[in-house]
Amino acid sequence: MDTLTQTAFGRALIGDSLMFHLLFITFGVGMPLLIGLLEYMAIKTGDAKWRHTARSWSKVFILLFITGAISGTMIAVQLGVVWPQFMAIAGPVMGFAFFSEGLAFYVEAAFLGLYMLTWDRLKGWAHLGLLIPVGVAAAASAFLITSVNAWMNAPQGFRMENGLPVDIEPLVAMFNPALFTTFTHSMVGYYLTAAAAAAGYYAWCWLRRPAARTKHHSQVMGLMLGVMLVMGVLMGVTGDASAKYIAKYEPAKLAAAEALFTTTAGAPLTIGGWLVDGVWHGTIAIPNLLSWLATGNMNATIQGLDQIPRSDWPPLQIHYFFDGMVAIGMALVGLIVLYWLLYWKRRTATTSRPVLWALVAAGPLAMIAMQLGWLVTEIGRQPYTIAGILRTQDAITASPSVVRAAVVFPVLYIVMLVVTLWVLVRMHQGKERVS
Amino acid sequence: MTADYQTAAVAMAGIPLAFAILYSIFGGIEFGLPLAALTHDKAGAARGRRYFSPIWESTNVFLVGVVAAVMTIFGAGLPILSSLLQPLWLLAAGALAVRGALIVGVFYGGWTNWTARVLLAVVSLAIPAVLIQNSTIMLTGDGDLLNHLGMVVALGTLAISLAVALWAGYFYTPGKTTRDLARLGFWLAIMLSWFTLPLAIALDGSVLSDGRNVLSVMWPVYGLSLLAVLTLASEWRRRYWVASAVLTAGVAITLFVAQMPYLVRPTVLLTDMVTNGFSQIWIATAFGLAVVVVVPVLFVLHRLVATDSRH
């Protein structure tokens, strides 16, 4: 088998694995905050219903955590055995972050066990306090693994000699230019998506189950929309910072995402369109907007793909992913604003069925936006695994079993996803057996 | 190459070993647990689900620890390890995924049919049997397991017996079927450790190519299994799982000792593959801190489970 085919299968395998893992770690990072807020409300109001709700969501969290732990194990294994050349470089430079991420997960799992086993033993702040290490460890875990990904996009802190990294400065490597924007943008995305999924669940219940139309459910939905409002604002701030970072450090990714073939002063923002034989058709261009978004100057020059060797171009299709992510993000912000406007006007937003249906859609859409964002990040770095250092085709193992794995693992992921969703539905129906 | 540097490399290899021991012990309990569903011991199954579910599958963290430690501490050796271990690891990862789906279905989704429970038990016991074959490859440097069927069978049986012993010990209930399984599993594990492990290690001539006698690397398993027997004989006689855990640690340490100072015998030395000084210090410190934080939490978890078991 030729290297390109082998690489394609390897990329498909790790891509499937990361997308599957992202479904669960989004909640692994985001849900401790939501559960903590619910338990805090129980302490603040003394109302047992908040505590019951927090406990119910903690059961959902456990189930998602389990599946996330399994999918995380798959990725750890695949990184080692499918991408050994990548790890041979990343190990000495960023291995300490990889390793520490595992330890943070270890702390999260241990305290999560303690948190779940003490629902009937501890009350108030004593019990809520056990969730804090879970949330902090989850965030630390996300920070550490994101630092590795950011380093892949903006590698520094070493130089290559005879195919191996030398003069390694691990902390310089970790605190690379991509770290802050990648970490903050993705963290906000995790919290926003988890809150959107929870709000969507309550909206669905409100629409479909008259018995669920209680003041408490309305309050919980409002709490989730409150989280979404805060995260929506932060999403805009971090998104803007991300755009400015990409323009400065990853011009090829920006040019491909924005379908900008020619280096342009006062570059337009390109929206929509379809790709035929390497040419975009039917796009809408908003003059000067890309220059302004990327630099703060409407007349700034933005580097196009013409300045980049053709062999280093990322796949042009990332324009679809980028547009999809931005469109969903804008729609979510609009929905959040609409919800709170209705609430401000009527003191409730649950009377508007279109808004409730939009909230039902918000959860899956937020998850799709998360996936699209990571697709832009990962595919936009191609053809490199470590930008400018290691091409993807040079990073992959020579073993042909990658092909079998690339076929088998997605099937396993689908089975796991179906089973997990099925159990979640049973939990919703009150048939769950999670203790 | 100085002796100090070699010592440091071997010391760093102790970190993946520590994770491997923890994974063997906690994973062993988990891998054996589906037997509770098979034996119709509903009390055992319910207890397993109820008290172990908070950390159910987070045991995988220890497996991730092994992988992450090897990848980061001995990353330079990954191209070699990958070519040797890839089929085995992908097989194990696939089995873990199948098992994950079955666990969610059987223990959380209420799948009660016999097929699902048998499949879960078989897959669960197959995983340690597959994972322990890493030792076969890393001890022989030969990725073709068919060339070492003696080791494959011996180590696989040992892994299964340890899983049975650990599970039955941890969920031991006086007067129940688990008591007999505990005894059977524990003594089977002892016998296999004492008699088949040296045989398995010696099966390939390259295993101890530095001239060491096979018995010279067996002291951990003999020493710790003696400790396990003494544990059983003491006032802790009902705590089979403690004895089984000690024995499991002995087996893991023995395989580690047999492999030193190589990453892959008989050619790939740890010292040639170990990472830089900064990473070594960071990883060792982070590991130490995590142990300080997590071990007390695990202890409290165990006490909570034990307290609940008595009620």
Give yes or no for residue A107 having a pLDDT over 70. yes
CA distance B200 to chain A (A): 26
Nearest to B77 by CA among A42, A81, A209: A81
- Predicted pLDDT at A328: 95
The overall average pLDDT reported for chain A is 89
A84-103 average pLDDT score:
85
A400-406 average pLDDT score:
83
- Predicted pLDDT at B310: 54
A48-61 average pLDDT score:
91
Report the residue from A109, A164, A401 with minimal CB separation from B90: A401
Report residue A114's pLDDT band, with 50, 70 and 90 as the boundaries. confident
A106–B61 C-beta distance less than 8 A? yes
Which residues touch A383 (CB under 8 Å, ≥6 apart)? Answer: A311, A312, A314, A391, A392, A393
Share of chain A above pLDDT 70, in %: 98
- Residues B49 and B99: their CA atoms lie apart, in Å, by 15
A67–B278 C-beta distance less than 8 A? no
CA distance A88 to chain B (A): 5
Give me Rg for the CA atoms of chain B: 19
Query: Mean pLDDT for each 10-residue chunk of chain B (311 residues)?
Result: 66 89 88 72 57 61 82 82 84 87 76 81 92 89 86 90 84 65 82 85 67 80 86 67 87 88 84 80 83 80 67 50
Q: How far is CA B24 from CA A24, A143, B252, in A?
A: 26, 29, 8
B100–A84 C-beta distance less than 8 A? no
Which residues numbered 369-388 in A keep a CB inside 8 Å of some CB on B?
none
Could you tell me which CATH class the domain B3-310 is placed in? mainly alpha
Give yes or no for residue A337 having a pLDDT over 70. yes
- Predicted pLDDT at A42: 93
Name the DSSP letter for residue B258. Answer: H
CA distance A38 to chain B (A): 20
End-to-end CA distance of chain A: 49
- Predicted pLDDT at A432: 52
Tell whether A63 lies on the interface with B, counting CB pairs under 8 A: yes
- Residues A90 and A148: their CA atoms lie apart, in Å, by 8
Chain A residues in contact with B289 (beta carbon < 8 A): 103
ipTM: 0.73
Angle B292-B295-B300 from CA coordinates, rounded to 5°: 125
Give yes or no for residue A375 having a pLDDT over 70. yes
Share of chain A above pLDDT 90, in %: 57
Report the residue from A95, A398, A419 with minimal CB separation from B105: A419
Chain B residues in contact with A66 (beta carbon < 8 A): 56-58, 100, 103-104
Burial of B20 (0-12, 13-18, 19+ CB in 10 A): buried
Residue of A nearest to B65 (CA): A102
Angle B25-A76-A9 from CA coordinates, rounded to 5°: 135
Report residue A435's pLDDT band, with 50, 70 and 90 as the boundaries. very low
Do residues B152 and B17 lie in contact, with contact meaning Cβ atoms separated by under 8 Å?
no
- Of A40-49, A153-162, A246-255, B191-200, minimum mean pLDDT range: B191-200
Domain range list for chain B: 3-310
Domain range list for chain A: 1-178+388-435
Retrieve residue A329's tokens: 């993000």
- Predicted pLDDT at B37: 67
SS3 content of chain A, % helix, strand, coil (to 5): 75, 5, 20
- For the stretch A157-197, pLDDT in tens is 999 988 888 888 889 999 999 999 999 999 999 999 999 99
Stronger pLDDT, A386 or B46, i.e. the higher one:
A386
Which residues touch B306 (CB under 8 Å, ≥6 apart)? Answer: none
Report the residue from B75, B89, B300 with minimal CB separation from A114: B300
CA distance A161 to chain B (A): 14
Chain A residues in contact with B68 (beta carbon < 8 A): 76, 98-99, 101-102
CA distance A195 to chain B (A): 23
For residues A355-366, one letter each, b for 16 or more C-beta atoms within 10 angstroms of the residue's C-beta and e for the rest, the string is bbebbbbbbebb
- Residues B34 and B122: their CA atoms lie apart, in Å, by 9
- Predicted pLDDT at A373: 93
Q: How far is CA A205 from the centre of its chain?
A: 26
Instruction: State the best of A21, A24, A70 to mutate against chain B, taking most chain B CBs within 10 Å.
Output: A70
Residue of B nearest to A422 (CA): B109
Report residue A384's pLDDT band, with 50, 70 and 90 as the boundaries. very high
For residues A83-106, one letter each, b for 16 or more C-beta atoms within 10 angstroms of the residue's C-beta and e for the rest, the string is bbbbbbbbbbbbbbbbbbbbbbbb
Residue of B nearest to A71 (CA): B97
